[in-house]
Amino acid sequence: MVALQRGEAAQAADLIGRSLARRERNAEGHYHLGLALAALGRFAETLAHNERAVALQPGYAEAHMNRGNALKALGRLAEAEAAYARTIALAPAFAEAHFNLGNVLGDLGRLDEALAAYQRALQVRPAYPEALNNSAAALLMRGRTAEALARYRQALGLRPDLTEAMVGQALALLAAEDHFGALALVTRALAIRPSDEARHVFLGLARVLNACPDIPRLREVLATAIAEAWARPRLFARFAGVVLGASGPLADLVNRAQDEILTPAALEALASDPLLRALMDATSVADLRLERMLTAARRRLLVLRDDGDTEQVLDFACALARQCFINEYVFAETDEESAEVAALSEALAAACGADAPVAPLRIALVAAYRPLAGIPDSARLVARAWPDPVDRLLTQQVREPLAEARLRESIPRLTGIADAVSVAVRRQYEENPYPRWLRATQGYRPVPIDLHLRRQ
C-alpha cells in the first residue's frame, strides 16, 4: 500500500501479488492490485482482479466502480455503464460513481443522461471541479454555451490549474466568437500541461488570427509549438509573424527593417529571441515584414563581417543561413552584395583547399547567400572543430547533401532516366526539392473510430 501511495505501481503490484499468493481470498488485496495494474495500463488484469474482489465481497462498491473503470478503458462501454449503476445501487452517495457514469454515458452519445449523472454527482459533492468541467462540456455539445461558460468558470474557481476546463472554456469562447479570450485560455493551459486537444485549438486559432493582443507566455508557447512540430511548422509561420510584429523587443525591427537600426546590439537581440529562432530553424518565413527584416539583417551582417563577430551575432548568422537554405535563397540581393559574396566564396574555397584557418562568421555569411555544398572542397570543413551553431550549419548544408548523394546511388530505379526531358526534370527537383521536409510532426494519441464518430 505504501508503494502504491508513493506512485510506485510496479513495486506495489509485485508486493500485493506476493501477498495474494499466500492469502488469495482477500477482496481488498485484489482491489488494490487492480489499482496498481491500472496505473501500469494493464486493464485486462485490472478487470480480472476487481471481478475476483466483487465475487469475494459482492457489496464492495469501490471494486465495482474500478471494474467499471477497467471495462471503460477496454472499450466495453455498455458493461462499464452497468458496473457503475451497480456501484450507485450499493452506494448512492458515491460522487465518483455518478461522475464516471456520466463519462461513459457521454462516450455513448447519451448527453442528457450524462448531464443528469453529473448533476447527481454535484448534488452529493457541490465542490467537484471535474464534474463541473465535464458537465460544462456536455452543455457545450448541446449548444448551451452560456451555461457551459458558467460551469467552466466554477470549475476553474475551485481548481485554477484544471487545464481541461481552460481548454473547454476556450472552446466555449470560440462558440461565442471571443477568439482572443480563447487564445489566452488555451495558451495558459499549454504553458501548464500540454494536451492534444489544447494543441489542436491553438493551431486552429493560429491559422485564422490576423492580430494579437499581449498574452502572457504566448511567445513561449508558440516557439515550443514550432520547435516541437505540434503540426507542420509552416502552419504556425504566418501567426508567428503577427506575434513578432505586434509587441515585444523586436516589434520595431520587424516593422521598420531599416539598415541603420540593425546595429550589432540589434542583431544580438534578434539572435536571442526564441520565437524568431524557432521559426527560422523550422520553416520558410511567410511574413513580408519579417522577410524584409531578415533580408536587411543579412545585408547588414555582410557590412559588419569584420567587427561584428560576437557569439550572439555568429549564432544569428548561422540561423539566418539555415533559413536561407530552407527558403531556397529567395531573399533579394543587390549587385554589390553579389560581388562581395563571390569574393567571400572564392576565399572560402581557397581556404578549404589549403586547410587554412577560416573565421566562423565568414562561413555563415557565405552560407546565407549560397549553399555550402557548392563551394569546392567544402567537405573538408566537417572534419574541423567548430562552434555548435557552425557545426549545425555544416550538417544542414554539407553533411546531409553528401549523405543524400550517397543514398541516391543506392535507390532502386524502376526504369532508366536517360532522355533529355526526364534528366532536366530530375535536375530541377534535386536542385529545389519543394517542399523541403525538415522534421516529422508530433503524433497524437489515437481515438477509437466509434468514439470519434459519437463525439461528432
The pLDDT score that the predictor gives to residue 260 is: 57
Q: How far is CA 320 from CA 60, 155, 244, 375, 399, in A?
A: 65, 46, 16, 18, 18
Residue 71 falls inside a structural domain? yes
Our CA angle for 138, 193, 287, nearest 5°, is: 100
> Residue 17 — very low, low, confident or very high, per pLDDT cuts 50/70/90?
confident
Per-residue pLDDT band for 278 (boundaries 50, 70, 90) equals very high
Q: Is residue 177 domain-resident?
A: no
Total tally of structural domains belonging to the chain: 2
> Regarding predicted confidence, which is higher, 185 or 10?
185
d(CA 300, CA 306): 12
Residues listed for the chain: 456
In a domain, 52, yes or no: yes
- CATH number reported for the structural domain that contains residue 94 in this entry: 1.25.40.10
Q: What is the mean pLDDT of the segment spanning 225-250?
A: 89
- The least confident of 124-128, 218-222, 325-329, 424-428 is 424-428
Single out the residue in 390, 411, 432 at which a domain terminates: 411
Sequence-distant (6+) residues with CB within 8 A of 134 are 99, 102, 103, 106, 114, 118
In terms of residue numbers, what domain contains 107? 1-126
Res 148: pLDDT: 98
Tell me the pLDDT of the chain averaged across its residues.
Answer: 90
**Domain-located, residue 173:** no
Distances (CA, A) of 327 to 76, 391, 401, 433, 444: 50, 20, 16, 11, 28
Residue with cell 478503458: 73
On the question of pLDDT at 365 being above 80, the answer is yes
Under DSSP, the state recorded for 199 is: H
Categorize the per-residue pLDDT at 431 as very low, low, confident or very high, splitting at 50, 70 and 90: confident
Write the DSSP symbol of residue 399.
Answer: I
CB atoms within 10 A of CB 158: 16
Is residue 187 scored above 80 in pLDDT?
yes
Q: Are 201 and 182 in contact (CB under 8 A)?
A: yes
> Whole-angstrom Cα distance, residue 318 to residue 390?
6
pLDDT of residue 200: 95
In a domain, 398, yes or no: yes
- Please say if the pLDDT value at position 328 is more than 70: yes
Q: Is 189 within 8 Å of 161 (Cβ atoms)?
A: no
| 436 falls within a domain | no
Q: What pLDDT sits at residue 3?
A: 57
pLDDT digits (tens, 9 = 90+) for 284-327: 998 888 999 999 999 989 988 876 668 888 999 999 999 999 99
Contacts of 336 (CB under 8 A, 6+ apart): none
Residues 406, 395: Cα–Cα separation, whole Å: 15
* Whole-number Å distance between alpha carbons of 44 and 260: 68
Asked whether residue 190 carries a pLDDT value surpassing 90, the answer given is: yes
Question: Which of 69, 95, 126 finishes a domain?
Answer: 126
In-domain check, residue 134: no
Is residue 84 within 8 A of residue 65, CB to CB? The reply is: yes
Most confident of 3-7, 29-33, 409-413: 29-33
From residue 353, alpha-carbon distances to 196, 357, 376, 378 in Å are 51, 11, 8, 8
What grid cell was written down for 192?
A: 501548464
Over range 156-162, report the average pLDDT.
98
Contact 132, 140 (CB under 8 A): no
Do the Cβ atoms of 100 and 85 come closer than 8 Å?
no
Question: How many C-beta atoms lie closer than 10 Å to residue 99's C-beta?
Answer: 23
pLDDT band at 447 (very low <50, low <70, confident <90, very high): low
Which of the 8 DSSP states describes residue 441?
P
Domain boundary among 126, 155, 185: 126
* Higher pLDDT among residues 279 and 444, named by residue: 279
Task: State pLDDT tens for residues 115-140.
Answer: 999 999 999 999 999 999 999 999 99
Does residue 437 have a pLDDT over 80? no
What cell does 399 get? Answer: 553533411
- Determine, yes or no, domain membership for 377: yes
Amino acid occupying residue 310: T
pLDDT at res. 443? 62
Query: Which is more confidently placed, 150 or 310?
Result: 150
Mean pLDDT for 405-423 is 84
Torsion angles phi and psi, residue 231, rounded to 5: -150, -175
CA distance 346 to 352: 10
pLDDT in tens, 45-74: 999 999 999 999 999 999 999 999 999 999
Element holding 42 (H helix, E strand)? none
